[in-house]
């Protein structure tokens, strides 16, 4: 598995190029994945309108999460100018999320989508097509050797790009613990970090990941302040 650190043309963002099922893909420190040959950008677990979803049961998170998520999305789209965008499921925190999206954010999202192909992959939080939004909806799609779906499948992970688990990794060094969201990959499969502003992480050593990766080749690409850090599975801690 080759691994070269490369700097994007705007010079501000560090990325790492990795291979999944023989396809070359770029993992970006901002939490997105890009395939240069196809000009394909993939982003996972946006969880838009999570704030208003929680508000329904009297928990009032700041109502700015969708706006903050879209702003960050705007900056990566501006950077890569993708031809196609895949939103890998759980794009909205619940089934009514798209309907609740405030007007300004809806317009913002519309502007990001315009002029490109946009594919909404169904997630467990949003199993149906988002209301009144353009773009295509699919349960799963295949492009070349890669298959894009929300939940990782246990049986056959070859070439799978998935989300759902919000991978995070933890290292302990010099008596300090550092926990970060990460890309989780073993050369055969990639699980994307969650992109949404209010999304937490689940440690890649949790039993929810059992059977998904070949441990010998497993690496976590941890999201640092301005670059990604590739860390061997053996160096990670649970919890």
Nearer to another protein, 78 or 178 (CB): 178
Beta bridge partners of 146: 143
Min dist CB 24 to another protein, Å, is 18
Query: Which CB sits closer to another protein, 35 or 212?
Result: 212
Q: How far is the CB of 164 from another protein (least distance, A)?
A: 9
Task: Put residue 96 in one of left, alpha, beta given phi > 0 → left and psi -120 to 50 → alpha.
Answer: alpha
| Integer CA distances (angstroms), 229 to 61, 69, 123, 223, in order | 31, 23, 28, 7
Q: With respect to another protein, which residue has the nearer C-beta, 115 or 200?
A: 200
Closest CA to 206 of 159, 155, 158, 152: 152
Tell which residue, 40, 31, 41, 33, has the closest CA to residue 17.
33
CA 165, 166, 171: angle at the middle one, nearest 5?
Answer: 115
Shortest distance, CB of residue 97 to another protein, whole angstroms?
A: 13
Q: How far is the CB of 135 from another protein (least distance, A)?
A: 24
40 vs 180 by CB, closer to another protein: 180
Sequence-separated (6 or more) residues with CB below 8 Å from residue 34: 15, 25, 26, 28, 40, 41, 42, 80, 82
Nearest to another protein of 92, 198 (CB atom): 198
Interaction site with another protein (CB under 8 A):
50, 52, 54-65, 67-68, 102, 165-166, 168, 170-178, 180, 194, 197-203, 206, 208, 219, 222, 224-225, 229-232, 235, 237-239
Residue number with CB closer to another protein (145 or 217): 217
Closest approach, Cβ 166 to another protein, in A, equals 4
User: Least Å distance between CB 142 and another protein?
Assistant: 27
Whole-angstrom Cα distance, residue 125 to residue 93? 6
Query: For residues 80 and 38, what is the distance between their CA atoms, to the nearest angstrom?
Result: 11
């Amino acid at each position: 598995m080759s691994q070269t650190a490369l700097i994007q043309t705007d010079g501000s963002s560090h990325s790492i190029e990795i291979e999944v099922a023989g396809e070359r893909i770029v993992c970006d420190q901002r939490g997105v994945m890009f395939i240069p040959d196809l000009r394909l950008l993939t982003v996972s677990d946006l969880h838009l309108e999570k704030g208003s979803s929680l508000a329904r049961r009297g928990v009032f998170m700041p109502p700015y999460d969708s706006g903050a998520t879209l702003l960050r999305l705007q900056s990566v789209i501006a950077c890569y100018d993708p031809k196609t965008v895949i939103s890998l499921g759980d794009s909205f925190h619940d089934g009514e999320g798209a309907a609740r999206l405030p007007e300004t954010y809806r317009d913002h999202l519309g502007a990001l989508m315009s002029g490109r192909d946009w594919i909404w992959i169904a997630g467990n939080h949003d199993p149906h097509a988002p209301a009144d939004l353009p773009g295509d909806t699919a349960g799963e799609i295949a492009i070349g050797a890669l298959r894009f779906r929300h939940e990782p499948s246990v049986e056959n992970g070859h070439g799978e790009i998935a989300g759902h688990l919000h991978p995070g990794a933890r290292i302990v060094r010099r008596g300090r613990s550092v926990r970060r969201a990460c890309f989780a990959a073993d050369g055969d499969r990639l699980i994307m970090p969650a992109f949404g502003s209010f999304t937490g992480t689940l440690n890649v050593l949790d039993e929810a990941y059992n059977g998904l990766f070949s441990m010998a080749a497993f690496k976590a690409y941890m999201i640092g302040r301005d670059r990604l850090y590739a860390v061997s599975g053996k160096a990670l801690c649970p919890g």
